[in-house]
Structure 1
Amino acid sequence: MTGPPKIERGSKLPDWDAPRRPTVTAAEAIYLLALGLLILVFLFLLGLTVRDEGTGITLVLFFIFGLGISLGTSGRRALLSAQARRLKEHEHPRLANLVGGLAKDLGVPAPKLRIIEDEGANAMVCRSGGPVIAVTDELMTTFTRTEIEAVVAHCLVRLNSRGLRMAMLASELVFLAGPLRPMVGFDDDIRAVAVTKYPPGMIAAIRKAASRSGRHQPLWFVADGRWHNPREQRTAAIEDL
């Protein structure tokens, strides 16, 4: 596992207007190409097993259509799986204020907000008709303001980074996502700290969050599995700033 990136002390706020890096790394591009070839081979073999040419083409088209629908609705299904709901009127005004203020400071669109009525303190990001941040009710009731701010900043960074697309792909095609590198950790945390300018808040938030597991773990703030850098390494990287 790669270690945390070297960050100079006094790092400034990330330049969100600067040209963006490629959406995927070279290794990820190669992996996606291999995945595409694997799907093509599967479709070819499917066609060979069907004698009726018209039926074979229909099955192939249904497969492609179904895969597209699956990927296009992955965010919505992740929210449904977490039982995320819309905020009620005047519910958690602190969250709305923090998200709106940080999004304005960064010059990025304010995401839609969702609440997950769950005992474990954590947060999820995805795209479902636009960017979405979903936080658990326990996070809002047990985290301090600076800790909530750290989580929100982390989520905003992820929503506007190249890693979210790969995370959503990994959560949808989990059985094929093994070769992908960790998607959540060092870079997201450090860029978020550059926004809040308060490293202790991020360190405390990472340590207090209840780790998640399961299919949609790439979308969570803290989770078990290969897609997240271990929380001990994440906090150590911030302490080194």
Structure 2
Amino acid sequence: MNGYVKTAMLMAAMTALFLGAGYAVAGASGALIALVIAAGMNAMAWWNSDKAVLRLHNARPVDATTAPELQEMVLRLARDAGMPAPKVYIIDQDQPNAFATGRNPDNAAVAATTGLLQRLSNEEVAAVMAHELAHIKNYDTLIMTITATFAGAISMLANFALIFGRGRNQSNPIALIAMMILAPLAAAVVQMAISRSREYEADKVGAEICGNPLWLASALQRIQGFATRIDNDSAERNPATAHMFIINPLHAFKRDKLFSTHPATENRVAALEKLAAEMGTPRRSTAIPRAGQSSRPGPWS
């Protein structure tokens, strides 16, 4: 199923869940109040998310002077993707990983750990950066903000039911209790499913941007291997940001579990290998030139 179609279906399910929960608790008026409050809270978080997340992970900005190769790589990838170049940050963290943040392509940033730059090849780093640019290009930050708004509103409705204990289900306390427990749980499941769907789509678009799906497949496998052995202290202190990274920085998942923010790495690799076969990508490819070297033909020219 197309990633955008799947995301649209999941968001429709989230909307239906919200409307159903709102009607069960307090009818349309109560649901509207909860939505407005949750939307306001999430809008504030969305507007300031880039600065907040970068600060949480002690990311430092870099430029053509302090990190010329990474800066040049991101600039060229952004040019090839037909999008504005985001700001570039580096996180002093040994675990290889990366994330993108920002409210839109004109106000975005990508961050890579020192472990990513030191432990992965030039091709793999480029593929990871392309994946993060894909998140920005696909407006995934906006999509996840919308789903977070609905999830927050549903949780708020459940809290209203707990506090006030009345509404359309006051004559059926069992149904009300079930809604209080199951509605937020179902919202979390749908929210995580949307997150996994966006990861698959970012893999696909990122592979197209860098020109070789196998570079990204290799990067995912290597990052996963390192992530299981190397702690990411800032991520451990801020687990709510784990979904932003290209690979879960906290622990590994063996399969696409309901509450997993990331698809299983082996599933992502299989999808990329299938894409490589469709694109006729050779198993061995010319290395990406570093800044100052002549570029190879194709997407890097």
**Contact 1:163–1:183 (8 Å) recurs in 2:** no
Q: What is aligned with 2:9?
A: 26
Unaligned runs of 5+ in 1: 7-20, 46-56
The alpha-carbon distance between structure 1 residues 39 and 74, as it changes in their structure 2 partners (threshold 3 A), is farther
Matches within 5 A, 1:1-241: 25-32=8-15, 34-35=17-18, 65-87=40-62, 90-127=65-102, 130-168=107-145, 177-180=188-191, 181=193, 182-209=196-223, 210=227, 214-223=239-248, 226-240=260-274, 241=277
Q: 1 CA distance for matches of 2:266 and 2:39?
A: 41
Instruction: Give the Å deviation of 1:90.
Output: 1.9
The alpha-carbon distance between structure 1 residues 140 and 170, as it changes in their structure 2 partners (threshold 3 A), is farther
Residue by residue, what CA displacement relative to the aligned partner does 1:182-201 show, whole Å, maximum 9, x if unpaired?
Answer: 24433221222222222331
Secondary structure at 2:190 match in 1: coil
**RMSD between aligned alpha carbons?**
3.6
**Contact 1:183–1:227 (8 Å) recurs in 2:** no
**Contact 1:167–1:218 (8 Å) recurs in 2:** no
Q: 2 CA distance for matches of 1:107 and 1:201?
A: 21
Structure 1 residue identity aligned to 2:108: P
Q: Which protein is bigger by CA-based radius of gyration?
A: 2
Q: 1 CA distance for matches of 2:212 and 2:88?
A: 23
Relative to the length of structure 1, the TM-score reads 0.71
**Contact 2:63–2:88 (8 Å) recurs in 1:** no
Relative to the length of structure 2, the TM-score reads 0.59
Q: 1 CA distance for matches of 2:66 and 2:148?
A: 29
Instruction: Give the Å deviation of 1:178.
Output: 2.9
Q: 2 CA distance for matches of 1:103 and 1:147?
A: 16
Q: Percent of pairs identical after alignment?
A: 20
Q: 2 CA distance for matches of 1:31 and 1:68?
A: 18
**Contact 1:171–1:215 (8 Å) recurs in 2:** no
Residue by residue, what CA displacement relative to the aligned partner does 1:148-190 show, whole Å, maximum 9, x if unpaired?
Answer: 1100111111111143323355678687533221244332212
Structure 2 residue identity aligned to 1:227: T
